[in-house]
A and B are shown apart, each in its own frame.
Chain A
Amino acid sequence: MSTPTRRTPDHALQRPQKPRSAWKAVLALIALAVITVWCAIGVGVDFGAIARNWNNASGTLLQLAQPDYAFFPKTLTALGETVEMAVIATAVSAVISLPISFLASRATNPHGPLLAATRLVINVIRAVPDILYAAILVSVVGTGAISGVIALILFDIGIIVKLVSESLDGLDRGPQEASLAAGGTWVQADRVAILPLAMPAFVSQTLYTFELNIRASTVIGLVGAGGLGVLIDNVRTFYLYHYLSLIILEILILVVVIEFVSSTLRNRLAR
């Protein structure tokens, strides 16, 4: 006796049909390629130049590979100034941006037009790179650390306000509602119910901004705003590449150390 085997219907054996979206991908690829070529022409991409200039480049690279450690003592002032600029800018911008963050979050600011205005201003501030601020401020306030500090502060306010107000948006609003229901004003409710909750995020973002500042303050000096950047600008105009590589080495170590300390602290805060 043969048991009847259950037959699989034919259509079940067929592969499901792939949705046809290949033409979209092809179109997108073509568009991207066209944009890339157009940009390449605009920028004047020329990989041949690298090969042609290789001779004088190899000399430079050789110099770069031999940092002149004797130059180190002369960089100390600039190095210190870089760190000081970062510290001052972080401290000042933290103080300024805490209240602004509360103005820029829907959770803590029920006033629609004020909210929109604050966000617009912050977005505008954030769209300008730090070094552009520095370049303008150098002409306005004069060269030196002061214009660098102000540039960093402007830059930081944009970042801290954005990150902190976003974390305010995501907070638990129960306690705030409770204090509003108990007759508190918005300011009181935010102070009592939201601020303690927001504190870890705020401190963490401030620390993070400090890391950014260290990196940024090394370069804003290129336009004359103090710190290691001034030194970079000096040595590069005289093609002193063995000094330059020492400065880069210093930046590298400074950034890595600060990032390590700050990320350790931030991880502890997050726990």
Chain B
Amino acid sequence: MSTALKPERNVASPMERPVKPRRWGTKIVWLVVTVIVVVAFWNVDINWASLTNFPANAWKYLKLLFAPPDWSKTGQALDATLLSVQMAWIGSVIGIIVSFPLSFLATRGLAPIFVRWPMRGLFAIIRAVPEVVIAVLILSVTGLTPFTGALALGVGSIGTLGKWGYESFESVEPGPLEAVRASGGSRWQIMRWGVWPQAQPEVFAFWLYRFEINVRASAILGLIGAGGIGKMLTDNTQYRIWNAVGILLIIVIVVTMIIDQISGAIRHRIIYGSWKIVGFGRRRKSLNVATKNNATREGLNE
């Protein structure tokens, strides 16, 4: 009887700590990462000593920017921001119109493989090229206008919207699709009555999300001359009119945050069916965690 309770010889005594598993793979990865970081610091062409007066410098410039900002430029800054937001809107509309049919062509079960993969490849390539570079390319066609900026944002939107689109089309419940197919629905009818009603809220939410991204990105496009926030910024930094830059920054921040809040609230309404002010630390009790997380992450990329 008591023998049954005796511990076997090669089992560690219960008073000892269990031995920590040695994870060689993890250690090697950490080592490689450390080496890469050290080499980068070592090799980069930066005079680290110049950083010693960075805090003082930063403080000086913060004072130049915001103490006080040039309130008389408020109207001009608002106009520039408005133009950027309009660019973002038109870009989103172009992106939506083009990407919507294309994402159906990239969906498994709706399009044959030789159409699907080229489409996905196209989306991937577009996502890899930054909007500014797209704008530089389009420049030669339309010249330096806000319209060029909007077009660039539109093309950039196709990449992300197309991807989110086919992902959400593929993640719909198969039941309704089967029902449509069983009652003799054509490919088009399967899309219209099987896929679309299910994917609709999510797709609308993605459209809004992309608009938020475009608002941020449109500020960038002005830097190459497409007008709006970026243009006003370069004009004023070049002549070092810092308090005008200050007011511009304030307006950009406020407008971006307001648009994010409104758009976030509408997205919440579309997905969950109720109005809620979404804040910073909202919890996503989600319908579809994977896609939504993806979108949030992609979203943060300018």
Contact = CB atoms under 8 A, between A and B. Distances in A.
Interface stretch (B106-114, B143-151, B160-168, B174-182): B143-151
Q: Which secondary structure dominates chain A's binding surface?
A: helix
Contacts, number: 199
Given A145-B44, A248-B133, A163 B297 contact: yes
A64 B48 CA distance: 38
Which size bracket describes the interface of B in this complex? 35 or more
A188 interface: no
Contacts of B245: 136
B89 interface: yes
Interface in A36-64: 36, 38-40, 42-46, 49-50, 53-54, 56-57, 60-61, 64
A91 B132 CA distance: 26
Contact of B150 (A45, A64, A119, A132): A45
B140 A141 contact: no
Interface string A225-260: 010000010001000010010001001100110010
A104 interface: yes
A190 interface: no
Interface in B60-97: 61, 82-83, 85-87, 89-90, 93
Given A135-B237, A140-B58, A146 B220 contact: no
B128 A252 contact: yes
Contact of B50 (A123, A127, A146, A212): A146
Contacts of A129: 216-217, 219-220, 302
Contacts of B54: 141, 150
B219 A83 contact: no
A88 interface: yes
Interface string A151-179: 00000000100110110011000000000
Interface of A: 35-36, 38-40, 42-46, 49-50, 53-54, 56-57, 60-61, 64, 80-81, 83-85, 87-88, 91, 104-106, 119, 122-124, 127-132, 135-136, 138-142, 144-146, 149-150, 159, 162-163, 165-166, 169-170, 208, 212, 215-216, 218-219, 222-223, 226, 232, 236, 241, 244, 248, 251-252, 255-256, 259, 265
